[in-house]
Amino acid sequence: MRDSSAHKNIAHGESCERNAMTDKIDLKDYGYAGDAGQADGLVPARVVGQHRDRYRIVCAFGEGEAVLKGSFIYGARFREDLPCVGDFVMLRPGEPALVERLLPRRTKFSRADFFGHALAHIRANNEQVVAANFDYVFVMSSLNRDFNVNRIVRYLTQAWQSGAKPVVVLTKADLVADAGAQLAEVRAAAAGVPVHAVSGLSGLALESLDEYLRPGKTAVFLGMSGVGKSSLVNALAGAEVAAVREIREDDARGRHTTTARQLLMLPSGAMVVDTPGMRELGIFRAGQGISGNFAEVEALFSRCRFGDCRHGNEPGCAVAAALENGELSRETWNRYLAHVRENAYFDDRKAYMTERAARNRSLNRKNRRDKRGGEFGDLE
């Protein structure tokens, strides 16, 4: 990890070919809004890639590799305390360059850290931060046989929770004769969220994304494996910067190609974070995201006769009335309930895990005291 020959990166704050550096960089072009000068020998930098314990970063001296300082690692209490792609950090140039501090995140996209594919198999209620400091979340789904509105809505809940603006991008529009019905279905389920149908392969309607991809802005691309994220990245970059594989004929799904998260600068001056496809997306600490995604549903609650209405068979329930008269679809209500239940499950599990950790620490302290008492008791 600390082999200097493998980390010819940012040495002594100098940009040179010996350290695999590029020309000097204005970090403000990468969205940095703070003071770009040095402080206590540290310089601000942005994480543009990560592979295990190594980070690809950009700073005023160029682009190179860095690792976390030991005290940073040992001081991190949770996984989300470590840097991810898109983060701004304070860096100490050297061989290797050391990340010493994580700067506050403006936005972040998180998911639950799953083990298995069912709630019963969840290992722990851990947060996995996928990307940070972005302006838009492109929730991507293909228009071929892998099209799934429920999945799109799940991504939107976490996208709203991130603090950025969600945008639905339906890919592979060149593979369907008419996407009108699918567009209408997504727009009905994602009220107020822009929805675009594009094709990275043919270039169809890519100009519709220009309003989001402006200089200094960052968009994170999220979706299942094979939805066409890499093809879209290549089309926007005007170059082959991400590997692409053909879709499988048996299920119309693309093969998994992106293996690591990376932030790429586009010719427009915008940045995109390309992420590996997610097999599972857990709704995690998403109370605000649920409210954003289902604002029209929760707006009904204030119209109920009773403030503690459970929205079942209570008299004067605005939700029941909306379901009856068609103002609210049963499908939307069921989606809302499913998201609320899953979010509540994780919240309860978090309380349980926190309480268990505190109990274990207390027992460990008691055992150490008992052991010391036994050792010195024989001397009395």
DSSP, collapsed to helix, strand or coil, labels residue 376 as: helix
- Whether the predicted pLDDT of 372 surpasses 90: no
Residue 168's pLDDT band (cuts 50, 70, 90): very high
Residue 318's pLDDT band (cuts 50, 70, 90): very high
Residues ≥6 apart with Cβ < 8 Å to 262: 48, 49, 56, 85, 273, 274
Q: What does the DSSP 8-state code read for residue 105? A: P
Percent of the chain at pLDDT above 70? 78
Residue 115's pLDDT band (cuts 50, 70, 90): very low
Cα 339 to its chain centre, rounded Å, is 18
Q: What does the DSSP 8-state code read for residue 84? A: -
Q: Which stretch of 193-197, 273-277, 299-303 has the lowest confidence by average pLDDT?
A: 273-277
Reported as a single tens digit per residue, the pLDDT across 151-165 is: 999 999 999 999 999
Residue 105's pLDDT band (cuts 50, 70, 90): very high
Domain 4-102 part of CATH 2.40.50.140: yes
CA–CA distance from 202 to each of 173, 198, 229, 232 (Å)? 9, 9, 14, 10
- Whether the predicted pLDDT of 167 surpasses 60: yes
- Whether the predicted pLDDT of 363 surpasses 70: yes
Provide mean pLDDT across the span 196-224. Answer: 95
pLDDT, position 15:
39
* DSSP codes, 237-296: HTS--S---PBPTTT-PBPP---S-EEEE-TTS-EEEE----S-----S-HHHHHHHTHH
Looking at the chain, the number of H-run helices and the number of E-run strands are: 8, 13
- Separation of alpha carbons 340 and 344, rounded Å: 6
Residue 89's pLDDT band (cuts 50, 70, 90): very high
Provide mean pLDDT across the span 325-345. Answer: 90
Reported for 81-84, long-range contacts at CB under 8 A and 24+ positions apart, including other chains, are 83/47, 83/50, 83/55, 84/47, 84/50, 84/108, 84/129, 84/130, 84/131, 84/132, 84/261
Domain 287-356 part of CATH 1.10.40.50: yes
pLDDT, position 282:
64
- Separation of alpha carbons 209 and 329, rounded Å: 30
Q: What pTM was estimated for this model as a whole?
A: 0.77
- Separation of alpha carbons 214 and 233, rounded Å: 15
CATH 1.10.40.50 location in the chain: 287-356
Residue 368's pLDDT band (cuts 50, 70, 90): confident
Residue 113's pLDDT band (cuts 50, 70, 90): low
Reported as a single tens digit per residue, the pLDDT across 2-56 is: 333 333 445 545 533 334 444 678 999 999 998 877 778 899 999 999 988 899 9
pLDDT, position 251:
46
- Separation of alpha carbons 48 and 273, rounded Å: 8
- Separation of alpha carbons 255 and 366, rounded Å: 53
- With tokens 């540290």, the residue in question is 42
Average pLDDT, the chain: 82
With beta carbons less than 8 A apart as the criterion, state whether 226 and 279 touch.
no
Provide mean pLDDT across the span 232-242. Answer: 88
pLDDT, position 216:
96
- Homologous superfamily of 108-274: P-loop containing nucleotide triphosphate hydrolases (3.40.50.300)
* Six token digits for residue 94: 């050297």
Which tops the pLDDT comparison, 81 or 364? 81
How many residues does this entry show for the chain? 380
Which tops the pLDDT comparison, 189 or 242? 189
pLDDT, position 350:
59
Provide mean pLDDT across the span 115-142. Answer: 73
CATH 2.40.50.140 location in the chain: 4-102
- Whether the predicted pLDDT of 248 surpasses 50: no
CATH 3.40.50.300 location in the chain: 108-274
- Whether the predicted pLDDT of 378 surpasses 50: no
Widest pairwise Cα distance in the chain: 90
Q: What does the DSSP 8-state code read for residue 124? A: -
- Separation of alpha carbons 90 and 37, rounded Å: 11
pLDDT, position 13:
56
pLDDT, position 20:
43
Q: Which amino acid is present at 256?
A: H
Cα 368 to its chain centre, rounded Å, is 41
